[in-house]
Chain A
Amino acid sequence: MTALSSLTAPQQPYSYGYLDAHAKRELRRRMLKAIAVPGYQVPYASRELPIARGWGTGGLQVTLALVGPESIVKVIDQGADDSVNAANLRRFIARMSGAATTTDAVAATLLQSRHRIPEERMREGQVLILQVPDPEPLRAVQPDMSKSAQMHADADYGQMWLSLYEQLVRFKQYIQGASYPSLVNGRHIISPSPIPRWDTPKLHLASHLTILSAGREKRIYAVPPYTTVAPLEFSDVPFQVEDQSGRACRTTGVRNRFMNEIPQTDGTSQFELSDSGYAEKLANGIMPASTYYDENGEFYHAGILKPAVRPD
């Protein structure tokens, strides 16, 4: 008599990369659509993971669908590799895939990040996976998702421009902070995830592929390499990144990088590099790769960032 066990594969508590084959295949199909229509939010099923929703489950699903034993994974939260949530996600990815992990943005093949893009320039072949809490850039002007989807379908972005205009009238500048809405490939407005404005231009004509994934909201979208990403701005009032001038990292002394502000008891502030992997290299005397901003704060694509103009 045939033993029942001989007819089945050996029991494993989890599939490779935790997700089962169907879930991975679905994610992969959606990713290809996302790449084919840059900036369009592709709906996907978004399975539950053993991590709370809102804690990076969207990014994690993409990472798990891409990762293999030869991958080198870097996980960042607010720029830091060893924040507790980054550590937790990295531990889970490694546990489910056997992939190597790193804090070096140059060595990594897959970079999953919450709210930052590294200071060192990413290159072809690397994939940046951004965790997205709210994929809908139109949420503030239209909270109803079925209606905002129709606005994207019609490229009906009038209300978005109106809200920018109102900001100028009221504050004489754009007051959108992180998640600065940007037009991708001249067609779809995206939320680039809550990265600071400092990081937004890094998506423009980048060498690497960026995949943005919102697990709770079940939307996946992409910015392929060499794709235009234009932060929304009126031609006479240019988009501005956060002002980092006059700030020097208290441990490495470097300037013109995105800094964490550390309030001091005497009422002043000190600053330190937000990108902990980059800081680690500087501290250990390792030569970093070329950065997006040079030591004078000039962005590597000339002419993208313009001097501030205030409307009358």
Chain B
Amino acid sequence: MTHPLYTETEARVRESFLVLMHALSFPGRPQNLPAAQADDAFLLMAEALLDLETTCFTADMALDGLLAQTGARRADLASADYAFFPVLTDEHAASLALAKTGTLLLPDTSATLFIGCQFGGSQASRWTGPGIDNEITVRLSGLPDVFWRQREKAVSYPLGWDVFLVDGQQVIGLPRSTRVEPAAG
């Protein structure tokens, strides 16, 4: 008996999801999205997770139109399940204070953030926690300091938001369970 058809859409959505799953399972390790070009990365991730049962937010006009194709309902940052920032300005980063962090009864009712930045660079941090074998040093640039301050305020485990950092076709998972400290030296 032949199995049901593994359509192109099915394959793309599944592969994108697996990338997100590995990224969150191994925080700090870059994973490659099956993106033809960098612009597709955010859409690929959105397509893997969003549909009419979810709400989303983005300040990026071009992406906003694309996100609507998933059927997800638009929401403000304070109530969005998924928020997309291809570029995170200081102002955006400050607004993250609004993003949902869940409740102690239902910590999964928190926001998931997709944020563009650059992997590599001089700013190194030391990450520890679930998914990390001992510790990992992560180098990132293009993330405002305000982001890290907001994350510190938002994460009161098990409350907090989960982040996917995106550089081109690559993605790094930063779940709320990860502890981030400045790298020594």
Contacts and interface: CB of A to CB of B under 8 A. Distances in A.
Partners in one complex: yes
A38 B112 CA distance: 16
A13 interface: yes
A45 B136 CA distance: 36
Given A25-B51, A36-B177, A226 B133 contact: yes
B93 to A, nearest CB: 20
B177 A16 contact: no
A223 to B, nearest CB: 8
Interface residues of A, number: 50
Given A69-B6, A226-B132, A227-B131, A153 B105 contact: yes
Of A95, A154, A226, the most chain B CB neighbours within 10 A belong to: A226
B48 A25 contact: yes
B184 interface: no
Interface string B50-64: 110110000000000
B185 interface: no
Interface residues of B, number: 46
Given A12-B5, A187-B157, A68 B14 contact: yes
A30 B107 CA distance: 12
Given A32-B24, A37-B107, A37-B108, A16 B4 contact: yes
A308 to B, nearest CB: 30
Interface in A14-60: 14-18, 21-22, 24-26, 28-38, 40, 42-43
Contacts of A153: 103-105
A288 interface: no
Contacts of A187: 157-158
B20 interface: yes
B151 to A, nearest CB: 13
Contact of A224 (B15, B20, B130): B130
A31 B48 CA distance: 12
Given A29-B49, A185-B130, A35 B158 contact: no
A37 B25 contact: no
B18 interface: yes
Contacts of A96: 3-4
Contact of B105 (A16, A68, A150): A150
B162 interface: yes
Contacts of A25: 13, 48-51
A97 interface: yes
A94 B105 CA distance: 38
Contact of A68 (B1, B11, B20, B132): B11
Given A33-B107, A66-B18, 9 more contacts: A12-B5, A13-B4, A28-B17, A36-B175, A36-B177, A43-B106, A124-B26, A153-B105, A224-B24
Interface of B: 1-7, 10-11, 13-15, 17-18, 20-22, 24-26, 48-51, 53-54, 103-108, 110, 112, 129-134, 157-158, 162, 175-177
5 residue pairs, one from A and one from B, having the closest CB atoms: A98-B3, A153-B104, A33-B108, A36-B175, A227-B130
15 contacts: A12-B5, A16-B7, A21-B51, A35-B21, A36-B162, A37-B177, A68-B6, A96-B4, A98-B2, A98-B6, A125-B22, A153-B103, A209-B25, A225-B130, A225-B131
